[in-house]
Amino acid sequence: MSIELVKEKYAGPVNTLEIGKPGLKSGPIVIGGETGLPFMFREGEMPNRPIVALEILDMEPTDWPPALMGAFGNAIKDPVDWAVECVSRHNAKALCVRLQSIHPDFGNRSPDKAVSVLKNIIERAGVPLIVVGCGDDERDNDVLPKASQALKGENCLFGIATQSNYKTLTATCLADGHSIIAESPIDCNIAKQLNILITDMGFDPSRIVMHPTTTALGYGMEYVYSIMERSRLAAFIGDKSLAMPFLLFVGAETWKVKEAKDFGEAQGVNWEVATSAAMVQAGADMIVVRHPGSAKTITAYIDKLIPRSSGRDK
Amino acid sequence: MIVIGELINGMYKDVGKAISKKETDLIQHLAVDQVKAGANILDVNMGPYTTDPKEDMKWLVESIQKVTDVPLSLDCSNIDVIEGGLKLAKNRVVINSTSADQDKMDRIFSLAKKYNSQVIALTMDKAGVPNDKEKRVELAAVIVEKALEMGISMDDLYIDPVLLPVNVAQPQVSIAFEAIRDLKLISDPAPKSVIGLSNVSQRAKNRSLVNRTYLVMAMANGLTAAILDPLDKELMDAMITAELLLNKNIYCDSFLDAYRKR
């Protein structure tokens, strides 16, 4: 007697989101749209393959380990050169610019200066941009609206909205036509609540990306995996307030831990790749990494997992 | 929970009058309001005073379908009248209802097969409503056997253990909980379960409180659907909260809003 495979059939897809505008060197990119758990092609579709973006800062990093800095040579001294290097030499499909220079501890740079760097980056690099603040709410609420306005029409992804600080960024993204990153601390209840709070302001839910926060390999990423899976399963049975694509800042988490930063470049890259691979398996639609070697390996890994007939090439 | 809105029923004076005078507005408002409040299916019952049931059913189905696409539950004891409605229905219909009598099931299940409809079946027969759980479950088993024999899938079968008013048949009310629970054991996959919720509070005081308390307890016993008044906001709030506590939805602080935005 033959045994029939038990296949799940789900009701609701993950939202599809486009970042960037036509006419860029690369992009626009499209993420989301899954109708089943990752890489379960017998149960659902994955029309858009997960995207790997490279993260840069808007200043020369002062606290990055040498194992990471070395990958970019002298280009890392200037954010615009660094961005161009990521795209031309490392084939980045998208860039994430972290506005570290505006942080009180990292230079407290003026909004005008930060905005002009951003504008140069998008002009010279020509790929879809993710723009995230420095993490200081006061500075972010001052600078991000100006950055958003300056990039109006570029269809960027801006972050980071949290449950305690989402109104300014939501309003500004709404006004300038950008998408938004909603962050929750490994907590699907807060993720859902924040998505609702943002949509209550009139924001289109299909323009929200969830950042469930993450940890590096060895620091409890299994829990991140289970939270992402739980959110996804809810989305698939029709919970529209959790049907947003996932973005994970794997690089920022990985290069903080000693196992990645203190044992040479190869181990750091391996640490970033291993963490990314797990997050892609957990349902990440977009991974932001820091080392170009990791980006290359994880992209190849995704390509290997997706059969040729499936997944739209972007 | 599958919510079957009960308000389009000729038993209510204004609805009965609207049916006899063909007041489309009132019916359409009731349809839209119930759907907005969370009804997944709309029950359509002409009530006892109709003089031309066939025409009334057609008029109701057509009027409702002009304003909403949700499936209808055609609630009538006359099979020809139901078939008239089935012919006009754009979506899958729930036929409401058959008893556990073989001749009635033969006709209703044949009709369901012909029109690819779902069916509500009551655990009662010519002898009336059983007064214990065992007989209810036995009749449910008879219904399931007949449905499977006639090719009706368990997904399309709602079994109603027949809810009686608490002020008339108090012991029966708690027996229905046990019946709902045991319906799950009859077959794998199990049939769905449904109750006519408002029956429990007929002519009782504090109806809304009785209804919502019963609904929550029935849900805890595995109830899948209920015919109820979706405009009773406290009832709907209790239902949404019960789903949350049964871990059917992910909690968030705005859980009531989140559910309504689904």
Cα angle A203, A56, A243; round to 5: 30
Distance of CA B1 to the CA centre of its chain: 12
Gap between the Cα atoms of A138 and A104, Å rounded: 10
Provide the 3-class DSSP secondary structure of residue A53. strand
Side chain identity, residue A269: V
Question: What does the longest C-alpha to C-alpha distance in chain B come to?
Answer: 51
ipTM above 0.85, yes or no: no
Task: Say whether residue B206 is in contact with chain A using an 8 A CB cutoff.
Answer: no
Q: Which residues pair with A248 in a beta bridge?
A: A287
3-state secondary structure of B127: coil
pLDDT of res. B21: 94
Domains and CATH numbers, chain A: 53-308 (3.20.20.20)
Q: Distance between CA atoms of B44 and B31, rounded to whole angstroms?
A: 10
Tens-binned pLDDT, residue by residue, of chain A (314 aa): 677 777 777 888 999 999 999 878 777 999 999 999 999 998 899 999 999 999 999 999 999 999 999 999 999 999 999 999 999 999 999 999 999 999 999 999 999 999 999 999 999 999 999 999 999 999 999 999 999 999 999 999 999 999 999 999 999 999 999 999 999 999 999 999 999 999 999 999 999 999 999 999 999 999 999 999 999 999 999 999 999 999 999 999 999 999 999 999 999 999 999 999 999 999 999 999 999 999 999 999 999 998 765 544 43
d(CA B139, CA B260): 36
Q: Do B252 and A196 touch (CB under 8 A)?
A: yes
Residue in chain B nearest A192 by alpha carbon: B252
Higher pLDDT, B48 or A78: A78
User: Any bridge partners for residue A211, and if so which?
Assistant: A183
- Report which residue type is found at A5: L
Count of residues making up chain B = 262
CA distance B257 to chain A (A): 8
d(CA B62, CA B78): 19
CA dist., res. B7 & res. B185, Å (int): 32
The answer to whether the CB atoms of B250 and A230 lie below 8 A apart is: yes
Name every chain B residue with its beta carbon within 8 A of the beta carbon of A187: none
B250 interface with A at CB cutoff 8 Å: yes
Cross-chain residue pair A196–B258, CB shorter than 8 Å: yes
User: Is B189's Cβ below 8 Å from some Cβ in A?
Assistant: no
pLDDT at residue A311, rounded to an integer:
47
User: Alpha-carbon distance A290 to A248, whole Å?
Assistant: 12
pLDDT of residue A27: 74
Q: Provide the pLDDT for residue B261.
A: 81
Integer Cα distance of B231 and A52 in angstroms: 48
Pull the structure tokens for residue A48: 């858009």
* pLDDT score, position A23: 79
Q: In Å, how far from its chain's centre is CA A91?
A: 17
**Tokens 């600080």 sit at which residue?**
A165
pLDDT at B216: 98
A30/A314 Cα distance (integer angstroms): 8
Residue B101 has pLDDT above 80, yes or no: yes
Nearest in space to B253 (alpha carbons), one of A192, A187, A213? A192
Tell the burial category of A312 from Cβ atoms under 10 Å away from its Cβ (0-12, 13-18, 19+). Answer: exposed
Quickly tell me which residue has 């063909």 as its tokens.
B22
